[in-house]
Copies of this chain bind each other. A is one copy, B any other.
């Protein structure tokens, strides 16, 4: 492993392919029982929302966190895909007219634009439900104790006290734009941070990690979750729609408080670098086993889209 950056880039690509195949399998699953049907239009909308999308950063973090404990990427990709289902459902619902009202996502029409609002709501609901269906299956992990721990982690980070709660705070922040640094950090830790932290911790659970190691990955996930959001906010003011594949400067246009509006761009960029240093420090006990995760942290913070 002489060039971690190069290896990271190759793995980011190959893990994304593994996740894509895994999601395709779950979304093409035609097992049925008795009088149960699988509505075609709903499956197509779920596939539109979940397939051919993004960098698959969250599954990647599950897979590379699990790799520290010797779990194969193929194995970890299953729990990773379940997390991606939650991420994708949240994008579908966030894009709805009653929420952020976006027409474009990853350069494609959003699900309610490609289908209709009702179908998009149901596709989101079905993807969230599918995530727990996947976690419950033996193929995710042979031990029921491990699977139920994953269910608990995913449910707690995705719900009221995590991602959904963060989206609610975000909607409220639009109506009351002047919010404090602490409020912005809380909102971001919940809305985007929760799933990224969840990804790293899920890897530790899959790997049957010690309490200390799990805590390290929890902490690492928390830090890069913050960094990810900060990088997003920086890109929101420095990038353009073509590079991002979605609308930019929309937070500023809506008068939403971000850390950049508090700190300014220069301080924010320095802060992102400090977070990277913290992230690297957190993983030190894993030595070279964490090289790829450290590159992931670097990528998260320095990415261009």
Contacts and interface: CB of A to CB of B under 8 A. Distances in A.
A129 B99 contact: no
Given A32-B161, A128-B128, A133-B155, A186 B37 contact: yes
A35 B192 CA distance: 13
Interface in A23-56: 31-39, 41-43, 46
Interface string A111-144: 0000011110110111011101101110000001
Contact of A118 (B35, B36, B171): B171
Contact of A186 (B35, B156, B169): B35
Contact of A144 (B42, B125, B144): B144
A197 to B, nearest CB: 10
Contacts of A39: 160, 165, 168-169, 172
Contacts of A190: 35-37
A45 to B, nearest CB: 9
Nearest to A36: B161
Contact of A41 (B32, B125, B137, B172): B172
Contacts of A32: 161
Interface of A: 31-39, 41-43, 46, 89, 93, 96, 98-99, 116-119, 121-122, 124-126, 128-130, 132-133, 135-137, 144-145, 147-149, 151-152, 154-156, 158-162, 164-165, 167-169, 171-172, 182, 185-186, 189-190, 222
Contact of A159 (B34, B93, B129): B129
Nearest to A33: B161
Given A35-B186, A38-B161, A96-B121, 7 more contacts: A41-B168, A42-B168, A122-B167, A125-B125, A125-B164, A129-B155, A133-B159
Contact of A145 (B126, B128, B144, B155): B144
Copies of this polypeptide in the complex:
2
User: 10 closest pairs, A vs B, by CB?
Assistant: A98-B117, A136-B152, A129-B159, A133-B155, A42-B168, A132-B155, A39-B168, A136-B151, A144-B144, A144-B145
Contacts of A154: 132
Nearest to A226: B35
Contacts of A144: 144-145, 147-148
Nearest to A151: B136
A67 B96 CA distance: 43
A42 B116 CA distance: 25
